[in-house]
Amino acid sequence: MTEHMEPIQGGLDRVLGFTIPDRNVRGRFVRLGPVLDEILAAHEYPPVLKQLLAEALVLCALMGGLLKREGSQLTIQAQAQGGVVELLVCDYREGELRGYLKHDPERFDELGAATDLQSLFGAGHLAITFDLPETGERYQGVVPLEGESLSAAMEEYFARSEQVPTRIRAAVQAGPNGSVAGGLLVQHLADGEEGRERLHVRMDHPEWEHVSILAGSLRAEELVDPELTPEEILWRLFHEEREVRISETMPLTRGCRCSVVHFEEVLARFPKEDRRDMQDENGIILVDCAFCSREFPIQD
Ligand SMILES: [Zn+2]
């Protein structure tokens, strides 16, 4: 791997894909900047919950960055009861990210300094859904919302549902000039296979253990330091490997599918009687998009 890779826009708001061929490892690195601020600006969440949503968006970009086919979508949805956060949703489609959460302000006041998943969500689960329009396939994995962080729950998802040894690091930092969030995902594809059914999984494969330890040595400050480009981070971590191949880089944007046309189509699926109940005196139905907190007046 060369030491002189040119940074692209300081590495903000893009996903970088890479492989370490000798170790059958693939990875993604993401760093969010302005896109994150744009998504968070649509909501008025307390800092702790902004942090939570930011971490979810990093995970969404990391995992979305693994999708290969056009139009594929990845959705992360956390649903819970008895905690501060009742719902968290974010999705990724072709570089477009969006997300929101719903929380109970009264319970939030009792939260204190705890940020583990149990305190934030109570009891709940995390569902990861892949939509692959090309084949019409949709598959979903579900894991309990347990552990220190969403990243830890996501590692569980990979271990249990996909049976792919995976290491994830994520960090978020809010600053006076905006937020920065960073994430690294590395995973071991035994024998270089991709998407094949696995007969057995070794979580302690020697080639994987080595990479997992290196990835784990990445510090939170490095993840969110915009002065350190993703390429520099990969070099720091893996410069002793014979080869680290940068496979692709994908720009990220804040994107939402809400529009008057979209909501007209959604409303058209309701029976006429129901639509009449939703109308105001001028025959207008107000629909709001939870992702961007915008209201759309739809003339029925
Ligand atoms: Zn929207």
* pLDDT tens digit sequence for 147-181: 889 999 999 999 988 889 999 999 999 988 899 99
Tell me, what's the pLDDT at 193?
55
The rounded Å distance from CA 245 to ligand 1 centre is 36
Cβ 70 vs Cβ 94: under 8 Å: yes
Number of domains into which the chain is organized: 2
Same domain, 33 and 103: yes
- Given this model, what pLDDT does residue 202 score? 59
Q: What is the pLDDT of residue 41?
A: 94
Same domain as 282, residue 138: no
pLDDT digits (tens, 9 = 90+) for 45-77: 999 999 999 999 999 999 999 998 888 999 999
Tokens matching residue 147: 């552990």
The answer to whether residues 139 and 242 belong to one domain is yes
Token reading at 224: 């969110």
Position 190 pLDDT exceeds 80: no
Distance from the alpha carbon of residue 1 to the mean position of ligand 1, in angstroms: 41
37 and 144 fall within a common domain: yes
Q: What are the strands of the beta sheet with 14-20, ordered from one edge? A: 166-175, 178-188, 25-32, 14-20, 245-251
Buried b (16+ CB within 10 A) or exposed e, 216-252: eebeeebbbbbebbbbbbbbebbeebeebeeeebbeb
Q: Look up residue 251 and give its two tokens.
A: 């720009």
79 and 202 share a domain? yes
200 CB neighbour count, 10 Å cutoff: 6
- 93 close to 158: Cβ distance less than 8 angstroms: no
In angstroms, the Cα distances linking 283 to 118, 263, 270, 278, 286 are 45, 15, 15, 9, 10
Q: Where in the sequence is the domain holding 270, given as residue range(s)?
A: 260-299
What's the CATH number where 176 sits?
3.55.30.10
CA of 257 to the centre of ligand 1 (A): 6
Task: Note whether 166 and 190 are within 8 A (CB).
Answer: no
Q: How is 158-175 classified by DSSP, letter by letter? A: IIIII---EEEEEEEEEE
DSSP conformational letter for 228: S
In this structure, is residue 1 part of a structural domain?
no
Distance 276 CA to ligand 1 centre (A): 24
Q: How far, in Å, from the CA of 212 to the mean position of ligand 1?
A: 37
User: Do both 294 and 240 map to the same domain?
Assistant: no
Output 68 or 81, whichever has higher pLDDT: 81
Measure the CA–CA gap between 233 and 216, rounded to whole angstroms. 13
Q: How far is the CA of 25 from the centre of ligand 1 (A)?
A: 36
Is 3 part of a structural domain of the chain?
Answer: no
pTM attached to this predicted model: 0.90
What are 141's strand-pairing partners?
128
- C-alpha 295 to ligand 1 mean position (Å): 9
The rounded Å distance from CA 145 to ligand 1 centre is 26
Whether residue 52 lies inside any domain: the answer is: yes
**Looking at the structure, do residues 196 and 249 belong to the same domain, yes or no?**
yes
The owner of tokens 């569902």 is 127
Name the residue among 114, 112, 103 with its Cα closest to residue 80. 103
pLDDT in tens, 20-38: 999 999 999 999 999 999 9
pLDDT of residue 192: 57
> Which amino acid, 87?
L
Both 222 and 279 in one domain: the answer is no
Residue 235: what pLDDT?
94
Q: Could you tell me if residue 158 is inside a domain?
A: yes
Q: Say how many Å lie between the CA of residue 100 and the centre of ligand 1.
A: 10
Residue pair 18/252 in contact by the 8 Å Cβ criterion = no
**Domain contains 234:** yes
List the beta bridge partners of residue 169: 184
> Is residue 61 domain-resident?
yes
Query: Mean pLDDT for the chain?
Result: 89
Q: 80 CA distance to ligand 1 centroid (A)?
A: 23
- Note whether residue 223 is domain-resident: yes
Residue 4 falls inside a structural domain: no
Same domain, 240 and 136: yes
